[in-house]
Structure 1
């Protein structure tokens, strides 16, 4: 397979690029600032950049002033840039993640358009944006979206370069792949390089294109990669001698091969996650696999065989790699979704829309929608059986289940009816619109599915107390609280992920046991304590003196030593 080195019909390309960018910008930005930051992840990845801005130290990440070396700094720097431009608020907190999700869709569009066809680019972009997991992660301030997009860019630019004729443009794409690898490395460590590198290596071996090794091992690309990656790692190691072991050994090896982070799940965990996360496109994915296997058995040649092999390898490698890991979290398989979107874009275009009147195409489309209906009914049943979160108002939960049932059922049956009426393009469009509507409504409800946030209490008290007043978190640490307060907090009886940082420097002024907490309470003229209901009696028995409950948000209490008027 050879890819054209130029843009065919540039006006059409830039028209669609602009249209998709505008539509998806609105789609991803919808109510982005409504939901409070979720604890712990969103709070952590906003508090660290806030402290960077406040201290002016962009080298050593700190969480609640404690050294925090679990991840590299690039995402923190992106967050700090957003806060510096738009202030400390929930929309600015999610802006970098939204932007990078949009970039991921645009990369998928551009490479789908150039490497296969314009329609594949458009379809792949919209499939990716409307997939349940991709859209969901675009709304959460975590690193997985960013590293996924950089991994996607690394794989696709390298593939584009290897499939092109030798020349300057080929070298440009290969070098761009190394840049994406470096950005991925600076976002989440070694996987930013090792995952795309492994996938490309296996793809070259499968294709037996030994000359591609020489093209891929580009000296300029390697030097640029090292120039981008080494400086921060070297400087932070010189400044913090304890960094290298914790970062490279504990975070990159021990957490993968042991259950030290208590994130163990069975080997098959990511299979249902992938199926559910690809909703509402999973029916098409199943049929596309069937067609792919059939083509392999019949040894049918396709001009896109090499690219399809890469996409299949890409998806399988991500799922298999993280299935082996002893530490599993849902977002880990997000890097597989751009490949799945390109795979589906090609399948729908090649086998269904290219010859819509063909009986084989009609049969594939019909069966894809039928599978979607079955899976949608399964999701509806599961959704109806799941209990409401304890903090969700019952009327919101009941209404939400009704509306989601209508959206999922309508999104499954209406496109099927349309394709029965011989309108395949309209059916696909209807499925895209239904997926957007379902994702938007789920996002609207998302505040009620996460743990209750301390935002309301923090904002109520922020301007009512002086900086000298101690604020103590009793036996827990809501990581969004310092972000909303604009200051670090004291923590009594909890270490968690701050344990390593607290062990390498003296933080006893902020992290201590209940005896110290009681002493601070008694010697301070005024003090504020945040405590959950399950630790309320332990707090009462610790301080053994009168107090005032000045705020409550679900199971979280805000307690003041002196009466405090929050009106």
Structure 2
């Protein structure tokens, strides 16, 4: 009787937390509202951005107009480096909603919504409603998810399909009867355990997983896994196979569930995978042959875009790589503000490790080696670095894996025959293992490969779920466990200090620009520092200057208010043990900041997009100031003004533009003759139909030297210029 009373008292905090967690319907309604505010409302502005955003949109536009769902084309040139599914979705969106910004980004916004809902569902089934709600909140209010869905890239769809494939993996390798038995198994706690141990047992996973049983059979999940994997390959290419099979193989070996491999339906499943994924690859290979040096699609897509890109030898080299220290540390930014609770996650991982050691006693001689093993990992990492000639972070990770496997095998040798390396029984334990493996593989893989900041996007959901689990468990033990309380408070203190620092910075920028007039074209106020030669997606942020705040007063003021009030309010609520309100306050702070960030993003449109140049050309044609029979020419790579190509909806000629994405496709015999030399421009300038020459900022000096005063400026914005070779047909008409 006494033991029952004690357990009831211990379980009270959890019961209280469960009772104040939003009901499933309310939670889903809240997440839907957040998505509408942050993502759906942002679909209408700014216009398409130059470079990847408009280039990819132009490829989808070609598909929508031509009906060719096999060969991507940009400005009439084969664009063979991308998988097709995002462009199929873009083409469908165009057919439904027209050629506009809303239609371009709608599939991505829906992808974010589905990712948040799926994260909620996974966490709800594996853990508890509180963790599920936090997962959905964090997915929608994480900096990286917001930032890297502002333009047309496939990472969010890849994340969704890989997460779905991993979840289906977990549900297919264990027979349904076994899953149900595990779900119904009561919590077992040794009455002789201390109160702290009982708290940990209740809070960290021995409770039955909610919703562990399912109406679907394991076979349905197995075929769902192969379908999701095929869609992931059609979204991003073979890297999806690397991430999935790397995680799956490691998980099956460590958990011992490889014995249930038949549940994966490998033979019929692979056939289903090929039926979905193979046709496009085969057709693309057959229809695109005879390019540069006799190469076609198969070489360019599989070798150049996958193998050589990973090795940093892709041709052409129009990309960059983050330094190692930035690659790792910036994930604190991409996962902000929820990354501030990573200390709580580390604490929970340590508790889980201690529980594992307690339930799996080490051999007597292993205890003597435990204390020198960390030093051995460092030394072995250094040796491997010299032997493998790869970054030290990779060799350190490899050495750690080797020592862990060694220790697990030693433990297994002292356990009954057939015991798994890591004992995972509940869906919560199995999910924790597979999510940890997946996130680690993605991060380490791209620490070695060439990378952009958003390449590790697929790991975000896995890390977010683990952070949500840690935060909800720390809340459950907040009153009784000092360490849980400490690490949550560290996160809030850090957020509050950062919020104050950000607010002070913004106030300073507003104060120094207080006497400056509002300037619609922020590009005229930026420094154009060219960090990373603009080959990193975030290079433009380093161009900000003090005077640029004159164009950012509203978003800067909104962000200042958010960071001054939100973090402090969240900390205060947490100290009052109003845990749900505190966590929601963090999400509200992030939401307010994202609204401000989107307003600022729209203010950057003149610099990031060239739509105004397309509008100028269309206005001049409509007013008959110029004839509609004209030739539009870009000086340089098409990506410098790719939004013009999209909004004009016609082919553009390029001066010295056989570069980057235009290089390989431009070598095919049937490529349209759109490539010009500077001498070609000089020869046709002033002859025949009117010429309209778009010149990016860094090419204006070259054009001045080429054409001198034999050009007329029609329009200028953010350092970019539009020239023509003769006066307007009605000179008193101005754009």
Fold shared, TM-score > 0.5 on shorter chain: yes
C-alpha displacement of 1:48: 0.5
Among 445, 459, 473, the alignment partner of 1:350 is 473
* Separation (CA, whole Å) in 2 of partners of 1:62 and 1:392: 40
Within-5 A mapping of 1:66-77: 66-77=77-88
Contact 1:391–1:452 at 8 Å: present in 2 too? no
**Which residue is equivalent to 2:225?**
177
1:47 aligns with 2:203: no
* Separation (CA, whole Å) in 1 of partners of 2:546 and 2:310: 34
Contact 2:143–2:335 at 8 Å: present in 1 too? yes
1:64 aligns with 2:225: no
* Separation (CA, whole Å) in 1 of partners of 2:700 and 2:73: 29
**Which residue is equivalent to 1:141?**
152
User: Given the superposition, is the C-alpha separation of residues 144 and 84 from structure 1 closer, same or farther in structure 2, using an over 3 Å criterion?
Assistant: same
In structure 2, the gaps of 5 or more residues are 1-21, 178-214, 290-295, 360-423, 510-540, 622-626
Among 111, 122, 142, the alignment partner of 2:122 is 111
Contact 2:332–2:340 at 8 Å: present in 1 too? no
Among 325, 335, 342, the alignment partner of 2:458 is 335
**Which residue is equivalent to 1:410?**
565
1:263 aligns with 2:320: yes
1:510 aligns with 2:558: no
1:372 aligns with 2:429: no
**Which residue is equivalent to 1:235?**
283
User: Given the superposition, is the C-alpha separation of residues 217 and 195 from structure 1 closer, same or farther in structure 2, using an over 3 Å criterion?
Assistant: farther
C-alpha displacement of 1:39: 1.9
Count of aligned residue pairs for this structure pair = 555
1:321 aligns with 2:445: yes
C-alpha displacement of 1:491: 0.4
**Which residue is equivalent to 1:469?**
630
Among 641, 653, 656, the alignment partner of 1:490 is 653
C-alpha displacement of 1:91: 1.5
1:528 aligns with 2:695: no
3-state SS, counterpart of residue 358 of structure 1: coil
C-alpha displacement of 1:464: 3.6
**Which residue is equivalent to 2:609?**
453
Contact 2:556–2:596 at 8 Å: present in 1 too? no
1:424 aligns with 2:588: no
User: Given the superposition, is the C-alpha separation of residues 380 and 316 from structure 1 closer, same or farther in structure 2, using an over 3 Å criterion?
Assistant: farther
C-alpha displacement of 1:555: 0.7
* Separation (CA, whole Å) in 1 of partners of 2:493 and 2:352: 22
C-alpha displacement of 1:296: 0.3
User: Given the superposition, is the C-alpha separation of residues 381 and 292 from structure 1 closer, same or farther in structure 2, using an over 3 Å criterion?
Assistant: farther
Which protein has the larger Cα radius of gyration, Structure 1 or Structure 2? 2
Within-5 A mapping of 1:428-439: 428-439=583-594
In structure 1, the gaps of 5 or more residues are 1-10
**Which residue is equivalent to 1:215?**
263
**Which residue is equivalent to 2:429?**
305
1:249 aligns with 2:412: no
Q: TM-score, normalization: structure 2?
A: 0.71
What RMSD in Å do the two structures reach over aligned CA positions?
Answer: 2.6
User: Given the superposition, is the C-alpha separation of residues 411 and 220 from structure 1 closer, same or farther in structure 2, using an over 3 Å criterion?
Assistant: farther
Within-5 A mapping of 1:10-25: 13=24, 16-25=27-36
**Which residue is equivalent to 1:289?**
346
* Separation (CA, whole Å) in 1 of partners of 2:462 and 2:260: 21
Contact 1:455–1:484 at 8 Å: present in 2 too? yes
Contact 2:174–2:263 at 8 Å: present in 1 too? no
* Separation (CA, whole Å) in 1 of partners of 2:174 and 2:566: 38
Among 279, 282, 288, the alignment partner of 2:336 is 279
* Separation (CA, whole Å) in 1 of partners of 2:157 and 2:59: 17
User: Given the superposition, is the C-alpha separation of residues 400 and 365 from structure 1 closer, same or farther in structure 2, using an over 3 Å criterion?
Assistant: same
* Separation (CA, whole Å) in 2 of partners of 1:220 and 1:121: 33
Contact 2:49–2:610 at 8 Å: present in 1 too? no
